[in-house]
Amino acid sequence: MLDSLAASETDVDIEVLGGPYARYDFHHPKYAVVDDSALVTTENWKPAGTGGHASRGWGVVVESARIANRLAAIFQADIGWRDTVSWRKFRQGRTFTEETLANESYPTNFEARSVPVESTTLLAAPDNAESAILRELDRANESIAVIQASIGSRDLPFVEALFRAAERGVDVRVLLSSAWYSEEDNEAMAAWLNRRAEAENLSLDARVADPGDRFAKIHAKGVLVDRETAIVGSLNWNNNSVRENREVALALDGEEIGAYYGRVFDADWTGGNGKSGPGSETNLPIGLIAAVGGVVVLAVLVGRRIDFSE
C-alpha cells in the first residue's frame, strides 16, 4: 500500500517515525483531519480494523474546526521532527512480507449516527492523556465501563482509580478481549480484579468477552463515565502507552453520545445482541459516531510535548 501511494502521481508525502532520534516508543494514534472535521478511532487502518473484518472497535467523527486544527498541530509537530524519514529512504534495503488479510463478515447493526455533544476534550500521550483519564475516573458518581484489549498490570494507576470508584459505590465493569494471544493473561487479570472486589465487597465486575459470531476480538480502547462521558482513541491501558507512545483520544461529554456507546458496551458485556425492542440496533465491528459541536481545549506546542489548557 505505501509503495503504491509513493509511486502514484498524486501528491502524497509518506514519512516514517523512528530511528535513533525517536521521541516515542511507538507512533500509535489512529486519526485523520479533513478540512474542519477530525476522525479519531481505536482501530488500525486495515481490513481487520476500520474494515470491520475482525475487531470490535470504536470511532468518532467530530465536526469542529478547533479540534481539527489542534490535531493538525499535533501532526505537524510529529512529522516535522528529525526522527522522521521518507518512506522511499526507509524502504531501501528492506524486505516486507504481506500478511493474510482478515476477510470475515460481521453484522453491521449499530449504524453511524450524528448526535450533539456538550463538550469535547482532546487527549494526547505522553502529554495530558493519563492525568485527564484519571480525573474522569475519579469524578465518576454512578458508573464506569471500560473496554480494552488488555490491561498491562495490576498496579496501573487506572486500575487503582477503578477501585477508588468502586469504594465510593460506583458500579464498575471491565471487559477484556478473548483473542487467542491475550486470553490467558486477560482471564488472569479479570479473575484477580474480581477476587479483590469480592474480598473488599466492592461493586466491580470484570469479564473476558465472549463475542460469538459478532466479531473476532476486542481491539477497542474505550471508557464510559456515568453514561455521560465517552473516551475514544488509541490509548491501551498500560504505562508504556500513556507515557512513552504518541497516542490520541477524545473525551466526549453528553447524554446522547454516552447512550450510544453504552448500548454497544452493554451488548458486548452480555454477549447478546443488545436489543431492547423490535427494530433496535444490535452490533457493529466499529461503532462510528459523528459528534457535532463541543468545546475543545487549546494546544500550545512546546518542544517534545503539547500542553493543553481549557
Q: What are the pLDDT digits (tens) for 122-140?
A: 999 999 999 999 999 999 9
Name, in order, each residue with C-beta under 8 angstroms of 131's C-beta and a sequence gap of 6 or more. Answer: none
At 101, the pLDDT band (50, 70, 90 cuts) reads confident
Of 41-50, 167-176, 249-258, 301-310, which gets the smallest average pLDDT?
A: 301-310
Joined grid coordinates for residue 266 = 452493554
CA atoms of 38 and 6, how far apart (whole Å): 24
Joined grid coordinates for residue 65 = 474546526
CA atoms of 161 and 69, how far apart (whole Å): 32
Asked whether residue 195 carries a pLDDT value surpassing 50, the answer given is yes
Better-scored residue on pLDDT, 272 or 267: 267
pLDDT of residue 130: 98
At 242, the pLDDT band (50, 70, 90 cuts) reads very high
Quote the CATH superfamily of domain 42-59+116-298.
Endonuclease Chain A (3.30.870.10)
Model confidence pLDDT, tens digit, residues 64-87: 999 999 999 999 999 988 888 887
CA atoms of 307 and 77, how far apart (whole Å): 12
Joined grid coordinates for residue 48 = 481487520
- DSSP lists the bridge partners of residue 144 as 172, 225
Asked whether residue 186 carries a pLDDT value surpassing 80, the answer given is yes
Residue 245: strand, helix, or coil: coil
Asked whether residue 309 carries a pLDDT value surpassing 80, the answer given is no
Of these ranges, 144-153, 207-216, 286-295, the one predicted with the greatest mean pLDDT is: 144-153
Q: Are 289 and 57 a contacting pair, CB within 8 Å?
A: no
Chain centroid to CA 251: 10
| CA geometry: angle 85, 7, 82, nearest 5 deg | 10
CA atoms of 215 and 5, how far apart (whole Å): 30
pTM: 0.87
β-strands 286-292, 84-86: how paired?
unpaired
pLDDT of residue 131: 97
Mean pLDDT across the stretch 159-174? Answer: 98
- Round the average pLDDT of the chain to a whole number and report it: 86
Better-scored residue on pLDDT, 14 or 298: 14
Asked whether residue 7 carries a pLDDT value surpassing 80, the answer given is no
Q: Which amino acid is at 265?
A: F
Joined grid coordinates for residue 175 = 471487559
CA atoms of 99 and 142, how far apart (whole Å): 44
Q: Are 202 and 166 a contacting pair, CB within 8 Å?
A: yes
